């Protein structure tokens, strides 16, 4: 049976491997892009923060800003579609 100490050592090594993999996989991407990608893959704010070496508050802020920006974009697209539909009816 594995001791708690052995388990912790394995978990620490796994955390390190995850960070190294993420660095290689997301090279050249902004931190905000990495947050969006990892979030879409189902990672929690805490997991994303651990991978990026930042806080979960930063991750939450980035996700909020992205959602806000996406909502504005969707509203703009709806307005354009409504205007185009109005022109087609004429």
Pairwise CA distance, residues 71 & 29, whole Å:
23
Q: What is the pLDDT of residues 1-30, one digit of tens each?
A: 889 999 999 998 998 888 888 878 888 999
* Contact call for residues 55 and 46 (beta carbons, < 8 A): no
Pairwise CA distance, residues 9 & 15, whole Å:
10
* The model's pTM: 0.62
Q: What is the pLDDT of residues 38-73, one digit of tens each?
A: 898 888 999 999 888 899 999 999 999 988 887 776
């Amino acid at each position: 049976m594995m001791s708690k100490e052995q388990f912790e050592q394995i978990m620490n090594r796994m955390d390190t491997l995850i960070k190294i993999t993420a660095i290689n996989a997301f090279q050249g991407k902004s931190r905000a892009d990495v947050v969006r990608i990892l979030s879409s893959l189902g990672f929690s704010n805490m997991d994303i923060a651990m991978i990026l070496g930042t806080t979960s508050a930063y991750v939450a802020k980035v996700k909020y800003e992205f959602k806000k920006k996406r909502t504005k974009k969707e509203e703009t697209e709806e307005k354009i579609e409504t205007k185009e539909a109005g022109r087609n009816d004429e």
